[in-house]
A and B are shown apart, each in its own frame.
Chain A
Amino acid sequence: MKLSIIRLYHDLLGTYGDQGNAEVLIHRARARGIEVELVEVSPNQAIPRSGDIYLLGGGEDGPQIAALEMLRADGGLNYAAAGGATVLAVCAGFQIIGSSLDSVEGKISGLGLVDADTVYTNAPRSVGELVVQPTRGDLPILTGFENHQGLTQLGPDMPALGSVLSGTGNGFNKSEGVWHGNVFGTYMHGPALARNPELADTVLQCAVGPMRPFTDSLAQELAAERRHTLTGN
């Protein structure tokens, strides 16, 4: 099979290096002999419905709303997600795949891929290293760099990606991100998949099923160095 990775609106949602997530997925898939194609979708281009993995990154407030409106109008991402495609959405991207979010014009609906409401509070902006104990799978401690104003409350049946050991994350009940079916949301930049190779493989496996092991020593070293510096372990 050919794995199709769709990078959405990198111009609008690429403020914090999250486009690197695509490169990490491609690198780790090719290392297993999986053929990969990367489809870049620019604003106002049609979103393919048959992709395997859809990626959304972080962005500034204005572009975030522009992106949300185009995603809603196109409908391709919702269609693909309903059909079981894998989605990884970071920061502003995470906020727009939720059910609702605050904007300058008040509360607006999100894409509703997950049940989550993002609010803007007067709390200081959450900026800094984020350390997360994953709630599912056999993932090790995850790390990333967060930089966001909005805080995200998950609906009662929404599993978080993990619980916060240090940093803010979603800002409610120590939860960080979301992992619902094949949909992942997170506040971790870094990019998240570069700093957390096991998370990268988890995302890949949602799309391609079990894979043979692959150890990239530099990736492991980077993940371990960050964990060690931030937790002492």
Chain B
Amino acid sequence: MTNSLRLELACAIGQVAGGVSRALKRGRGDTLTGRVILALDKNALSKLASQRDLVLVSGTNGKTTSTANLAKILEQYAHEGVSTSGSGANMPAGIVAALASKPRNRFAAIEVDEMYLPQIFRQTKPKVVVLLNLSRDQLHRTGEVRKVSQLWNDTFATDDVSLVIDRDDPFLEYSAAQAGHVIRIGFGGRKHPDAATCPKCAAILDWSTGDYSCVCGLGTKLPDVRADKRLRGPQRNSTLVIEAARLMGAEINAQEAQELISQSPDRITEFEAANRKIPTHLAKNPESWREALAQITKQSVILSVNARGIDGRDTSWLWDIDYSSLQGKQVVCTGDRKLDVAYRLSVQGIDVVLANDFESAAATCATSQIQAIASYTAFQDLAAQALGIAATQGGHV
């Protein structure tokens, strides 16, 4: 069988498998499609990526939204669809499935898990890689933030790609330290909560000016683009996305860019429980919790915390977050690890009540003015419920 025939056949069978999975309401089917394609053609990834213009998006927070925004811009420019990872499936199988959708179109905007970035980068040879941010997340899987940064530093010791980074993040500055072509976006004026020491030489970083500097010279490169320092996390990501789209050839004018930035949503989805509509923030690590907490305005708040595989099985980071903005609100804790979050809040002097599930948490709330923050699998379960498909497996410890 010729190379391209094998690939085409693999893709056709994979799409059927994914379709069957969707029809049976077993999930969105993307990962299964990808697995089947990879099983039939192990070189599918590089084949599907060849002769196309790829941009990869990675980082701790905002990958899915940023990838979607990037795909939106590229689609508008290309007048055709863009292969993209709509559902946040960001490991090899999900990426193969994304590339196999619209395989003849020019552009692909692909979200990539931090640990898989080296492999995906080597196999897909993208034009541009956007590195959004790096902070603590799933330490049981990734080890240490600085180890991810080192892994990326090794990966991007090349001139064959353009990187777009937030240069205020020392971990990203080090990730790009050996790269030939880097666009540095500077926002200025915010200390990275996990970067007391230099990712390169481990000396203590000097943050006294609001920006960092190190005896080894990390951080001395000036930004190529200076952006507004008041921008919050998701808006900063949009700024990086627009720069990446430019590098891909898609010009976007200032006004369109502004519109995109202003409407760029956090991962907030409205779920219905106890006949109430509850805007729910997806938050999965200290940095995204801080972002979510900053947006809590309503009187009743549901916090739903699990610690299943992808959430990170260690909940101790809950203690790294300042919850004082919840003072005086009605806080209901639910999820597998409701006691961990409830006790943490109580030590900070915040009153909490416990609920067995999201539905009863919503029913417990005194008013219909409710917002929620949910960890990854808790959020997925709510989404699955809303779509009427099977929830994630429990099996927690």
Tell me whether A17 and B317 are in contact in the complex, defined as CB-CB below 8 angstroms, given that A12-B197, A128-B140, A194-B347 are known contacts. Answer: yes
Q: A62-B202, A127-B140, A129-B397 are in contact. Are A20 and B316 (CB under 8 A)?
A: yes
Query: How far is B255's CA from A61's CA once the two chains are assembled, in angstroms?
Result: 46
Q: Tell which of A71-79, A94-102, A168-176, A222-230 binds the partner.
A: A222-230
Q: A128 CA to B143 CA in the complex, in Å? A: 12
Residues of A within 8 A of B215 (CB): none
Q: Is A16 located at the chain interface by the 8 A CB criterion?
A: yes
Interface: A52 (CB within 8 A): no
The reply on B343 being an interface residue by CB < 8 A is yes
Contact between chains at B140 and A230 (CB < 8 Å): no
**B320 CB within 8 Å of chain A:** yes
Number of residues of chain A lying within 8 A (CB) of chain B: 38
Q: Return chain A residues, CB-CB under 8 Å to B198.
A: 62
CB atoms of B346 and A191 under 8 A apart: no
Q: Which residues of A contact B197 (CB under 8 A)?
A: 12, 62-63, 66
Tell me whether B314 is interfacial, beta carbon within 8 Å.
Answer: yes
A189:B202 contact, CB within 8 angstroms? no
Given known contacts A66-B197, A194-B319, A189 and B339 CB-to-CB distance under 8 angstroms: no
Q: Say whether B143 contacts A14, CB under 8 Å.
A: no
Known pairs A12-B197, A43-B204; A60 contacts B316 (CB<8 A): no
Beyond A24-B347, A218-B343, A225-B339, whether A145 also contacts B202 by CB under 8 A is no
A205 CB within 8 Å of chain B:
no
Cross-chain contact A147 with B139 (CB below 8 angstroms): yes
- Nearest-neighbour CB distance to chain B for A211, whole angstroms, equals 18
| A19 (CB) vs chain B CBs: closest residue | B319
**Least Cβ distance of B321 to chain A in Å?**
9
Q: Could you mark each residue 24-54 of chain A with 1 if its beta carbon is under 8 Å from any beta carbon of chain B, else 0?
A: 1001000000000000000110000000000
Q: Which of B143, B314, B346 is in CB contact (< 8 Å) with A189?
A: B314
Q: Please, which residue of chain B has its CB at the minimum distance from the CB of A10? A: B196
Whether B339 and A44, one on each chain, are in contact in the complex, defined by CB atoms closer than 8 angstroms, is: no
Q: From B340, which residue of chain A is reached at the shortest CB distance?
A: A222
Expressed in whole angstroms, the minimum distance between the Cβ of B343 and any Cβ of chain A is 5
Would B143 and A125 count as touching, CB distance under 8 A?
Answer: yes
* B102 cross-chain contacts in A, Cβ below 8 A: none
Min CB distance A166 to B, Å, is 10
Question: How far, in angstroms, from A145 to B355 measured CA to CA in the complex?
Answer: 25
Q: Which residue of A lies closest to B342 (CB)?
A: A218
Distance in Å from the Cβ of A152 to the closest Cβ of chain B? 19
Give the one of A14, A60, A65, A129 with max B CB within 10 A: A60
On chain A, the residues within 8 Å of B204 by CB distance are 12, 43-44, 66
Q: Assess A18 versus B196: contact at CB under 8 Å? Given A125-B143, A127-B140, A222-B340.
A: no
**Beta-carbon contacts of B175-216 to A below 8 Å, as 1s and 0s?**
000000000000000000010111000111000000000000
CB pair B317 A12 closer than 8 Å: no
Tell me if B316 and A190 are in contact (CB < 8 A): yes
B320–A19 touching, CB < 8 Å: yes
CB distance from A225 to the nearest CB of B (A): 5
Q: A23 to B347, Cβ gap below 8 A?
A: yes
Bound Cα distance from A20 to B144, whole angstroms: 19
User: How many angstroms between the C-alpha atoms of A196 and B136 in the bound complex?
Assistant: 24
Interfacial residues of chain B within 343-397, with CB under 8 A of chain A in the complex: 343-344, 346-348, 352, 396-397
CB distance from B74 to the nearest CB of A (A): 37
Are A222 and B314 CB-contacts (below 8 A) given A43-B204, A65-B202? no
Given the complex of chains A and B, what is the CA–CA distance between A16 and B204 in angstroms?
A: 19
Tell me which residues from 117 to 143 in chain B have a Cβ below 8 Å from any Cβ of chain A: 136, 139-140, 143
Query: Which residue on B lies nearest to A9, using beta carbons?
Result: B196
Contact flag A219-B343 (CB < 8 Å), given A128-B140, A129-B397: yes
Complex Cα gap A194–B316 (Å) = 9
Are B339 and A221 closer than 8 Å at their CB atoms?
A: yes
- B 298-309 binary contact with A (CB < 8 Å = 1; else 0): 000000000000
Q: In the bound complex, what is the Cα–Cα distance between A163 and B343 (angstroms)?
A: 27
The interface bits of chain B over 305-349 (1 if a CB of A lies within 8 angstroms of the residue's CB, else 0) are 000000001111111100000000000000000011011101110
Q: Which of A178-204 contact B (CB under 8 A)?
A: 189-191, 194
Do B317 and A16 have beta carbons less than 8 Å apart? yes
What are 18 of the A-B contact pairs (CB < 8 Å)?
A11-B196, A15-B144, A16-B314, A16-B317, A17-B316, A20-B344, A20-B347, A61-B144, A63-B197, A63-B202, A128-B313, A129-B397, A145-B314, A147-B140, A191-B319, A194-B319, A218-B352, A229-B397
Which A residues contact B (CB, under 8 angstroms)?
A: 11-12, 14-20, 23-24, 27, 43-44, 60-63, 65-66, 125, 127-129, 145, 147, 189-191, 194, 216, 218-219, 221-222, 225, 229-230
A145-B316, A218-B339 given; 18 more Cβ-contact pairs under 8 Å: A12-B196, A14-B320, A15-B194, A17-B317, A19-B320, A20-B316, A20-B347, A23-B347, A60-B147, A63-B197, A66-B203, A147-B314, A190-B315, A216-B346, A218-B346, A218-B352, A221-B343, A230-B397
State the 10 A-B residue pairs at the shortest beta-carbon distance, nearest first.
A62-B202, A20-B319, A17-B316, A11-B196, A17-B319, A222-B339, A60-B144, A145-B314, A189-B316, A63-B197
